[in-house]
Amino acid sequence: MKLPYERPTLRKLTAGALHKFGPRPGAAPTTALDGVPVAELVARFGSPLFVLSERQLRRSYQAAVRAFGTRYPAVQLAWSYKTNYLNAVCRTFHQEGAWAEVVSGMELEKALLNGVPGPHILFNGPGKRRADLERACVVDAVIHLDNADELHLLLDVAAGRAARPRVALRVNLDAGTYPQWDRFGFNLENGEAWQALGRVVASGRLALVGLHCHIGTYVLQPKAYGTAATKLAALALRCQRELHTTIQYLDLGGGFPSTNTLKGAYLPAADTVPALDEYAEAITGALLGAGFPSDELPLLVLEAGRALVDDAGSLIGSVLANKRLADGRRATILDFGVNLLFTSFWYDHHISPTREFSSQTEPTVLYGPLCMNIDQLRESIALPLLAPGDTVVVHKVGAYNMSQWQQFINLRPNVVLIDEAGAVHLIRAAETLEYLQQLERVPEHLL
Amino acid sequence: MKLKPNIATSEAGFIFNPATGDSFAANPLAADILARAKTGLDAAAIKADILARYDVAPGQLEKDWDDLLAQLRDFNLLDQ
């Protein structure tokens, strides 16, 4: 029997600056996902392949409910559709009890088709069209008002309707983070939000039921959420006091980080990202101390997306080729690029081989297959000596990649869900050229 | 493939260039190849031996051989 082969390679030894950290561990192989061998998944569904773990989806959801629900008596999660609106994912969260948070007419229809009752749909987003507002009114979704033009458009839509559309006001505020997000909603500090609330209530055509804010994305300071909750609660109490309107829910938005490491971060996110419990403690502590009577606490709504789904997604890909760049660096070309792994623009994803290698690694530039210079997945990553045909697993890719992916140069691949019993379900089939071209029309003179 | 005569190699894969002070770590197969090259064995003989002992296709070995040469050249270890 012949010896296993690994290509001959050299690595220049550099001392580097002194530091307190030990050597990085070698890349441990990921041979299976939720008990299903990677090789089997690739043989059945091809490469690249997105794999979602139903077990992890449910586990993350339940962990979030536990973090907030053990600290506050009335908590409701609303699944952020834009983060991953594959129906199987949405329905898993809805089965767990999630409402839907949508940001477009298309997402609203998706939520309805997924069986979410209209009153359990929160309609966010800065770009609602008249038809979207009319549809939201018909199904009794809660409309989160983003700007004055939208408010007046809705007042127009609401005129003559038997039932008053239910609305919440989107509020942007200074939570102590920089840069302050002020593009969504009405500003609190300059009085714009209060003015809008007054107009909503005075109109008599809208039912004000909630207040909403979304302070940012991948926010690493739990304290900022505490500040936002304090300010939103004070605004709700002022509504009660001065507008004689009871705010039924406070929606603190999403923006909770996952444990993916941001590019440029000095330490891995697993070591630096606060636990969801810390965010829960900051938010619920602020609400409980805000001055609401104990039997009149508003419902706490959260629109977590990334924190619920990121860990549940993996992307399997294959090595197409290796090459050496002009400066001597190793480069590896994979069969997926930024077209599928959109989040590689801001994360240094953890990438594992899928079989055992020696401990030898080589600093490698990872490229995708696109004929575009921007298609670089990692500027430098220590990987074992991968050969063409070897597969890799990119971890924690459940958020945004399956909604922001692009049909560009290559078609989008299969997506499978591994259920809690280990059965593999195809939940989105690989695209075909026929699918791609079905909406195109060629003028007669070009036929 | 001819290494510079002053390049020191060890069985464990440590390579040292006393002219520049640079040191390198070779993986086991690269260390084996360099050790054989230092004994004066030519490329064809080394490759034939690798093909006989390792689970590798000739085409793959040729590609990797060229890549090893590129690395040695890049690290200034070859006798030009």
Are A89 and A119 contained in the same domain? yes
CB of A325 within 8 Å of a chain B CB? The answer is no
CB of B7 within 8 Å of a chain A CB? The answer is no
* Candidates B1, B3, B64, partner chain A, best to mutate (most A CBs within 10 A): B64
Q: Are β-strands A391-395 and A351-353 bridged in parallel, bridged antiparallel, or unpaired? A: antiparallel
A260 within domain boundaries:
yes
How many angstroms separate the Cα of A167 from the Cα of each of A26, A82, A98?
Answer: 53, 21, 19
* Candidates B9, B53, B54, B71, partner chain A, best to mutate (most A CBs within 10 A): B71
Question: Which of B24, B70, B72 is nearest residue A13 as measured by Cβ atoms?
Answer: B24
Name the burial class of residue A243, with classes exposed (0-12), middle (13-18) and buried (19+) by CB atoms within 10 angstroms of its CB.
middle
Map tokens 């008249």 to a residue.
A130
- The CATH number assigned to the domain holding A379 equals 2.40.37.10
Are A288 and A334 contained in the same domain? no
- The CATH number assigned to the domain holding A137 equals 3.20.20.10
Residue pair A8/B33 in contact (Cβ under 8 Å)? The answer is yes
| pLDDT tens sequence across A149-185 | 999 999 999 998 999 999 999 999 999 988 888 889 9
CB of B37 within 8 Å of a chain A CB? The answer is no
Q: What is the pTM of this model?
A: 0.91
Q: Which residues of B are less than 8 Å from A11 in CB distance? A: 24-26
**Residues A76, A82, A86, CA angle at the centre, nearest 5°?**
95
Distance separating alpha carbons of residues A319 and A214, to the nearest angstrom: 40
Residue A1 C-alpha, separation from nearest chain B C-alpha, in angstroms: 8
Distance separating alpha carbons of residues A146 and A405, to the nearest angstrom: 27
Question: Which of A5, A11, A324 is nearest residue B25 as measured by Cβ atoms?
Answer: A11
Beta-carbon separation of B55 and A2 below 8 A: yes
Cite the DSSP H helix spans in A140-212: 148-158, 192-203
Q: Which residues of A are less than 8 Å from B64 in CB distance? A: 7-8
Residue A2 C-alpha, separation from nearest chain B C-alpha, in angstroms: 5
- How confident is residue B79, by pLDDT bands cut at 50, 70 and 90? confident
Q: What is the helix, strand, coil percentage profile of chain B, to 5?
A: 50, 20, 35
pLDDT at residue number A38: 98
Distance separating alpha carbons of residues A304 and A65, to the nearest angstrom: 11
Q: What is the helix, strand, coil percentage profile of chain A, to 5?
A: 35, 25, 45
A205 within domain boundaries:
yes
Beta-carbon separation of B23 and A13 below 8 A: yes
Q: Which residues of A are less than 8 Å from B29 in CB distance? A: 5-8
Are A393 and A269 contained in the same domain? no
Residue pair A33/A314 in contact (Cβ under 8 Å)? The answer is yes
Locate the domains of chain B by residue range: 8-74
| pLDDT tens sequence across A252-297 | 999 998 889 888 888 888 888 999 999 999 999 999 999 999 999 9
Domain that holds residue A358: 32-52+311-428
pLDDT at residue number A23: 55
Question: Which of A3, A322, A385 is nearest residue B53 as measured by Cβ atoms?
Answer: A3
pLDDT at residue number A101: 98
Beta bridge partners of A334: A319
Which residue, A268, A292, A308, sits at the end of a domain? A308
Is the pLDDT assigned to residue A54 strictly greater than 60? Answer: yes
A195 within domain boundaries:
yes
Are A246 and A343 contained in the same domain? no
Residue B6 C-alpha, separation from nearest chain A C-alpha, in angstroms: 17
How many domains does chain A contain in total? 2
Beta-carbon separation of A10 and B72 below 8 A: yes
Are A274 and A301 contained in the same domain? yes
Which residue, A308, A334, A359, sits at the end of a domain? A308
Q: Which residues of A are less than 8 Å from B55 in CB distance? A: 2-5
Residue pair A404/A38 in contact (Cβ under 8 Å)? The answer is no
CB of A446 within 8 Å of a chain B CB? The answer is no
Which residue, A290, A308, A326, sits at the end of a domain? A308
A447 within domain boundaries:
no
Are A221 and A284 contained in the same domain? yes
CB of A35 within 8 Å of a chain B CB? The answer is no
| pLDDT tens sequence across A406-447 | 999 999 999 999 999 999 999 999 999 999 999 999 999 999
Q: Which residues of A are less than 8 Å from B26 in CB distance? A: 8-11
What DSSP element (H or E) covers B61? helix B58-74
Are A46 and A58 contained in the same domain? no
Question: Which of B54, B56, B67 is nearest residue A324 as measured by Cβ atoms?
Answer: B67
Is the pLDDT assigned to residue A378 strictly greater than 90? Answer: yes
Map tokens 């001065």 to a residue.
A242
CB of A9 within 8 Å of a chain B CB? The answer is yes
Are A362 and A303 contained in the same domain? no
Beta-carbon separation of B27 and A2 below 8 A: no
* Cα within 13 Å of Cα(A240), Cβ side: 17
- How confident is residue A17, by pLDDT bands cut at 50, 70 and 90? low
| pLDDT tens sequence across A89-109 | 999 999 999 999 999 999 999
Are A330 and A280 contained in the same domain? no
CB of B75 within 8 Å of a chain A CB? The answer is yes
Q: Tell how far CA A113 is from the center of its chain.
A: 21
- How confident is residue A24, by pLDDT bands cut at 50, 70 and 90? low
Residue pair A34/A244 in contact (Cβ under 8 Å)? The answer is no
Map tokens 């043989």 to a residue.
A43
Are A296 and A329 contained in the same domain? no
Number of alpha helices (DSSP H) and beta strands (DSSP E) in chain A: 13, 21
A7 within domain boundaries:
no
Q: Which residues of B are less than 8 Å from A7 in CB distance? A: 29, 60, 64, 67-68
A329 within domain boundaries:
yes
Cite the DSSP H helix spans in A54-191: 54-69, 87-96, 105-113, 130-139, 148-158
A20 within domain boundaries:
no
Residue A321 C-alpha, separation from nearest chain B C-alpha, in angstroms: 11
Q: Tell how far CA A202 is from the center of its chain.
A: 37
Are A82 and A179 contained in the same domain? yes
Inter-chain CB pairs, A–B, below 8 Å: 72
Structure tokens at A366: 């990872």
* Cα within 13 Å of Cα(A388), Cβ side: 11
A196 within domain boundaries:
yes
Beta-carbon separation of B54 and A2 below 8 A: yes
CB of B28 within 8 Å of a chain A CB? The answer is yes
Q: Which residues of A are less than 8 Å from B65 in CB distance? A: 8
